[in-house]
Structure 1
Amino acid sequence: MSETHTVPEPVGGWRDRFATAMMGSSPAPLTMLDRGEGCYVWDVDGKRYLDFLAGIAVNSLGHAHPVLVDAVSRQIATLAHVSNYFATAPQVELAERLRRLTGAGDAGRVYFGNSGAEAIEAAIKLARRNGQHKKILALHNSFHGRTMGSVSLTGKPALREPFDPALPGIEHIDSTIEALEATIGDDVSALVVEPIKGEAGVVELPEGYLERARELTEKHGALLILDEIQTGAGRTGSWFAFQQHGIVPDAVALAKGIAGGVPIGALVTFGRASDLFTVGQHGSTFGGNPLATAAANAVLGEIENAGLVENAARRGDELRAAILAIGSPLVTEVRGAGLLIGIGLGEPSAPAISARALELGLIINAPNDTSIRLAPPLIVGDAEIAEFLTLFTQALEATS
């Protein structure tokens, strides 16, 4: 275990330094973290926190996992970046791995970027290639990123409207099968959906939605593009959430947990969608660099070898049952799949619960006033779950 490194505190302290140095788009930080190990992090004052957010479903292996540390250390000693004029072994290995894990197979292709938003930008361009003057459909209350293209897809007016005019040709619809059936026609190039809406509070789509979406998009020649940025890489108890629905999409956007904290994004295409891009129609200077792809290979390899997809499924079931068993009058439902969990509250107390939990040494998230989001590392075990239940119960009791 490494020592805590205290950040020097000039006049005003680190909070003032942050406020004066960082762009105003950055929210005030909850604390300044210094290091992590497993499912725990420590701040600069030495306080320990149980991390049940994992960098918003990013740190799949927790913090400072030796497999990831070793892979990054070895790779950066040889090549960190070569540009997209050259190939590297980690890049090709990761592309092949993602084709296998998604089920895209030999007909699949992979594009690498540096974030989830970049994966969505690639998906938007793919949709345009499928019908340049056709509509792209997305869902109300969805979240796909903050770049101009991805925020145009995002179904949250408060995030989108300050930057209007948004990208044209995008229409948002209700998350119902009825709305889907009423809207999809030959004038639609693509439907872009999250299998579970993470930023909405971990809200699942109606039963049968993805299956019907697959039928309708195939009928009308539209692409079914899934945003699995938050749900992918074993998070929901299968490698990808769509695999629990027995469908095959046309493309899947990935990021977050696939490299355990090293920035990377990817768009995996299936079948005919793999032929839509031609040379020069999309690219990225840093995308698919050997450092990020080596990290992703190590993380995905460890998830597979250590049985962490199965662990996510089992621990998720345990957590949902245990949260309901607390019997708090505040908790009205528990949503989600695997280790992406939303706790529905009967009162707008989520921010207060999250703040109290932080004081107690527990990191959770309130994506809105009536929802708590949990996304612990996939390595979580008995001891961490027991500690979470103790601290979360105390946070509930303090705010009820």
Structure 2
Amino acid sequence: MNIIPNIKDFYNYILPIYSPQNKIPVKGYGSKIWVQDGSEYIDFAGGIAVNALGHSNPTLISALKEQADKIWHLSNLYTNEPALCLAKKLVQKTFADKVFFCSSGAEANEAALKLARRYAYNFFGSQKNIIISFKRSFHGRTLFTVNVGGKKKYSKGFGPAPIGIIHAEFNNINSVRKLINNYTCAVIIEPIQGEGGINVAKHYFLEEVHYLCKKYNALLIFDEVQCGMGRIGKLFTYMHYNIKPDIITLAKSIGCGFPLAAMLTTNNIGKVFSLGVHGSTYGGNPLACAVGNTAFDIISSNEVLSGVEKKHELFKNHIKRINLEFDIFKEIRGIGLLIGIELNKNYINRGRDILKLAFENGLMLLNAGNNVLRLAPSLIISNEEIEEGMKRFYKTIKIFKKNN
């Protein structure tokens, strides 16, 4: 007899590094989720900007099933058709010439940072090794990427940190000017900070960062793990700013829930990664790339990309109306379907309380710090799902306001 798992099993058997909701999802379709007891939820979280095409997308399922009948895994002693097809599509749609596949955003960023260090070492010498990142940024959980990230709470307590990492103030070009010099090998930045609070980089700021990188022969890395792949209504965020970085990293939406990530760069930079210098066990996995190919074709369509801005306005108008009635939000920010809602001074650090209350009312939300609510739904969420989700959000805020 099969024993159905319950939430107690999480605390009994899984490391306590997460704090999940007390109900276990078992099925999803579109932007709806059902838990074990049959209750239905509207999903505005999207697996933290992963499920760009919703849950159980029939086209993605077909692609996965078709590939599952062919070949699952080979290792990089061989290549495979899905990986080659996806790499070609990525190159044709971007500034890049070469692609490195891996399995997660942290792995993609680790590869990008190693590539930048190697490039500087080969062309300028070992002394050019400083990496500039930004406060409140997030680039992954490896020992290297967690220290490159700008949140001390994630990096403290793990012993000696990798050297040569400094942090500037986001959207403060003078802060960057004070730090960058001939010893800088790379600047890594999220054009829209996700975990840091949905902070959108100003055009002027990124243009000046780009100029300074060129001036000091430092590589500019755009971490588009969360904001790339159609999330803002452009296929990639660098296109919104009309700035070509030297390297971009992708994950989350590129696999739409199947573990897949990529680092993209030019021939001139990529050539320093010679045979055996770097690798990834599951990089370019046929199953992952089969899903990635199909996801890319859908997300890159004009229909999906043009719909993102329309959906943004629908969300924004609902949030504004709710705030007119309850006066709880300080600011709405973000682009496309990466939306941040900052709480005002009367409700500082109450974001997690609202998340919990929203779940109790049939809505899945995210936070970006304790003071910002984050929405990162499917790019193809229907207007009906948005309307229903916003009814539940209204109810959540009404109850929260009444009790506070």
Q: TM-score w.r.t. structure 2 length?
A: 0.93
Aligned to 1:377: 378
Matches of residues 175-194 of structure 1 in structure 2 within 5 Å? 175=170, 176-194=172-190
Cα-to-partner distance string for 1:161-203 (whole Å, 9 max, x where unaligned): 1213111111111111111122111110000000011001211
How far is 1:90 from its partner?
A: 0.6
Aligned AA (1:127): A
The residue that corresponds to 1:3 in the other structure is: none
1:351, 1:256 → 2: CA distance?
23
Q: Which moved more, 1:38-47 or 1:311-320?
A: 311-320
Between the two proteins, the alignment pairs up a number of residues equal to 389
Matched residue, 1:114: 103
What is the aligned partner in structure 2 of residue 241 from structure 1? 237
- For 1:361, the equivalent position in structure 2 comes to 362
Output the CA distance in 1 between the equivalents of 2:153 and 2:120: 29
Alpha carbons 1:135, 1:171 under 8 Å: kept: yes
8 Å contact from structure 1 (residues 238, 313) kept in 2: no
Q: Which residue of the other structure, out of 33, 36, 41, is the alignment partner of 2:28?
A: 36
Q: Is the 8 A contact 1:145 1:151 kept in 2?
A: yes
Q: Which residue of 2 aligns with 1:15?
A: 7
User: What pairs up with 1:199-210 in 2 under 5 angstroms?
Assistant: 199-210=195-206
CA–CA distance in structure 1, aligned partners of residues 202 and 301 of structure 2: 33
Write the distance in 2 (CA, Å) between the matches of 1:281 and 1:26: 34
* 8 Å CA contact retained: 1:110, 1:267: yes
**Contact 1:110/1:269 (CA < 8 Å) preserved in 2?**
yes
Q: Is the 8 A contact 1:117 1:144 kept in 2?
A: yes
Residues 287-306 of structure 1 correspond to what in structure 2 (within 5 A)?
A: 287-305=283-301
Offset of residue 101 of structure 1: 2.4
Match of 2:67 in 1: 75
* Distance in 1 of aligned mates of 2:300 and 2:203: 28
In the alignment, the residues of structure 2 paired with residue 272 and residue 204 of structure 1 have an alpha-carbon distance, to the nearest angstrom, of: 30
1:284-363 equivalences in 2 (<5 Å): 284-305=280-301, 307-326=303-322, 327=324, 328-346=326-344, 347-348=347-348, 349-363=350-364
Preserved contact between residue 184 and residue 218 of structure 2 (Cα < 8 Å): yes
What's the offset of the Cα at 1:29?
Answer: 4.0
- What residue in structure 2 maps to residue 393 of structure 1? 394
Q: Is the 8 A contact 1:113 1:266 kept in 2?
A: yes
Offset of residue 271 of structure 1: 5.0
3-state SS of paired residue (1:163): coil
- What is the rounded CA distance, in whole Å, between the counterparts of 1:237 and 1:308 in structure 2? 8
Contact 1:102/1:239, CA 8 A, preserved across alignment: no
| 1:139 to 2:137 alignment | no
Distance in 1 (alpha carbons) for counterparts of 2:18 and 2:320: 34
- State the distance in 2 between where 1:368 and 1:151 align: 16
Q: Is the 8 A contact 2:255 2:261 kept in 1?
A: no
Give the aligned residue type for 1:191: V
Q: Deviations over 1:138-172 (max 9, x none)?
A: 00110011111110111000101121311111111
Tell me, in whole angstroms, the C-alpha distance in 1 between the residues paired with 2:143 and 2:221: 18
- 3-state DSSP of counterpart to 1:130: helix
Give the 3-state SS of the residue equivalent to 1:261 in structure 2: coil
Structure 1: 5+ residue stretches without partners: 1-6
Displacement of 1:65 in angstroms is 0.6
